[in-house]
Amino acid sequence: MKNKNGTTVKRVLNTVKQYRIYVILSLLFSALSAVLTLYIPILAGKAIDGITENGGIDFVIITVNLLKIVVCALLSALFQWLMSIINNRIAYSTVKDLRERAFSNIQHLPLAYIDSHPYGDIVSRIIADAEQFSDGLLLGFSQLFSGVVTILITLVFMLYLSPLIALVVVILTPISLFISKFIASKTYNFFKDQSVTRGEQTALINEMVENGKTVKAFSYEDTAASRFDEVNERLRKCSLKAIFFSSLTNPTTRFVNNLIYAAVGLTGGFAAIGGMLTVGGFVSFLSYANQYTKPFNEISGVVTELQNALACAGRLFDLCDIEPETEDLPDAVILENPKGKVEIKDLSFSYDKSKTLLKDLNLNIKAGSKVAVVGPTGCGKTTLINLLMRFYDADKGEILIDGTEIKNMPRKSLRHSYGMVLQDTWLKNGTVKENIAYGKPDATDEEIIAAAKAVHAHGFIKRLPNGYDTLINESGVRLSAGEMQLLSIARVMLINPSMLILDEATSSIDTRTELKVQDAFKKLTEGKTSFVVAHRLSTILDSDLILVMNEGNIIEQGTHTELLANNGFYTKLYNSQFAV
């Protein structure tokens, strides 16, 4: 874990490196502010000596030094303000860059990763962990840098006043450093556990909120609460451990610092009595002893916060490091005006490599064919669609479109050739118009309205509060499931793709509207290759080819009439839906 922590620090520094000009300015302003602040005790000491020496009061010395103190204080405040502005820019710019890298990588991650990890944990890394990291980074720049600079400059001033007393301070300092290092080494793992558990909790909350209706429908509330309590309790325990160890830092370092202050006071007192220091010099030294020890308290607190920040940064870097989808080949062939001939040769695939799902699949689809894929749940219908769209790459075999292997095409080119409507609808935050134009942002209002009319969505859209400008969110809370699906279909109708994939595309639409949408699909699919995944066999009776799948294999294929005549598996499926 130590190596992991060190690697994370190096990567954070590399990320910050592009802002090195700001870092240099921050250090410069921090040093100037510290020098001016630490020069004030010397001025104060001189003012005090103006009162005590020779048994009189030298108002000129006092006035001059007081004016200098005011000027130093004002300039120090100005440099401190400039440093804060720069530190904010460094911290939030760095976190912005990391978030962009993480989110950009998510866009290129294989679906295998997205499907196998809780969405809430991924969200937690980009939002909560990034926020924790930015807070720690800001503390690092604002307090760690200035604290270190203050310590070094204070040492210089103390050496100037009395090398002997400064030596006492230097000898006692390692005790405070040892304590801070010991506690920091313990807290990293606890903060790491805290961050991971927080991600798990976010994933659970996300799951329960998104599926609230299902939770209530199955009276799952108590179980959901129990699961949350269990995760929440683990988060409480690891958070308490992290906070407990981090909270030890301040009182222990304060104890050591008080020892240093006492040692300085005792040594300085004897030095003043022996004439080695003036009274003003002694007062200045006491002030420096306090100034010297104060940053150690701050730094020790910052170090523990940095452990939390590094743990969060590590999770962000882990997300950035996940291998994205394989790059498109340099000589990839762009699919232009595809005719839609699809060939599948000896195709094998499985999600779990220990269990084969599709094995040695062979298929030859003529251009312009309407192909229906039917079969029981889990037989591989949606998997076949995932492979056609190259959401997953086959373990073995080839998929060719118009004679070109899809791995030899850019993914964007391949996917632009398809229009896809899924059973699970997705709508983004935005207006109805923006959702329909999702695949064609430059579409005119006339084109959008024509697409909506084609799928019989225009009527209900006009009844919405602001028509096509009505705002909806990703859950489509103002819309029924059927209306959401109609918008998804209109989205595909607008882009008018060369090929179509319809995965239970009308499952949430009432029978009357479904007949109208089927008519729209008939117009849309005319002359185009289309794949229709269906459970309701009534929707695919006119297909040119019906593929009957079971246990990852195509066990029957043919037209509806031919399959019924074979009196095989398809006939059993058909009779199970239509037998009286």
429 and 284 part of one domain:
no
pLDDT average, residue stretch 13-20? 82
pLDDT average, residue stretch 184-210? 77
Domains held by the chain: number: 2
509 band by pLDDT with thresholds 50, 70 and 90: low
In a domain, 475, yes or no: yes
304 and 178 part of one domain:
yes
What's the CATH number where 273 sits?
A: 1.20.1560.10
In a domain, 327, yes or no: no
What is the per-residue pLDDT for 580? 43
Asked if the model's pLDDT at residue 3 lies above 60, the reply is no
What kind and span of H or E run contains 94? helix 59-107
Asked if the model's pLDDT at residue 461 lies above 60, the reply is yes
Greater model confidence, 561 or 162: 561
pLDDT average, residue stretch 183-208? 77
Q: Whole domain around residue 302: which residue ranges? A: 91-321
What is the per-residue pLDDT for 133? 82
In a domain, 408, yes or no: yes
In a domain, 142, yes or no: yes
Asked if the model's pLDDT at residue 383 lies above 80, the reply is yes
138 and 285 part of one domain:
yes
What's the CATH number where 422 sits?
A: 3.40.50.300
404 and 525 part of one domain:
yes
- HSE-CB of 417 using CA atoms within 13 angstroms: 25
Check: CB of residue 134 under 8 Å from CB of residue 305. no
Q: Of the candidates 275, 290, 321, which is a domain's last residue?
A: 321
* Percent with pLDDT over 90 in the chain: 2
4 band by pLDDT with thresholds 50, 70 and 90: low
DSSP 345: E
Q: Of the candidates 269, 287, 321, which is a domain's last residue?
A: 321
What is the per-residue pLDDT for 55? 58
389 and 473 part of one domain:
yes
Contacts of 523 (CB under 8 A, 6+ apart): 454
In a domain, 41, yes or no: no
Greater model confidence, 53 or 150: 150
pLDDT average, residue stretch 242-257? 73
124 and 174 part of one domain:
yes
236 and 378 part of one domain:
no
199 and 254 part of one domain:
yes
511 and 438 part of one domain:
yes
pLDDT average, residue stretch 462-472? 86
Angstrom distance (rounded) from CA 244 to CA 187: 9
316 and 438 part of one domain:
no
In a domain, 2, yes or no: no
294 and 407 part of one domain:
no
In a domain, 7, yes or no: no
pLDDT digits (tens, 9 = 90+) for 308-345: 787 788 888 888 888 877 788 888 888 788 888 889 89
In a domain, 128, yes or no: yes
Check: CB of residue 488 under 8 Å from CB of residue 422. yes
Q: Of the candidates 288, 321, 354, which is a domain's last residue?
A: 321
pLDDT digits (tens, 9 = 90+) for 88-132: 888 888 888 888 888 888 888 777 777 777 777 788 788 878 888
What is the per-residue pLDDT for 1? 46
DSSP per position, 138-200 = HHIIIIIIHHHHHHHHHHHHHHHH-HHHHHHHHHHHHHHHHHHHHHHHHHHHHHHHHHHHHHH
358 and 395 part of one domain:
yes
What is the per-residue pLDDT for 52? 56
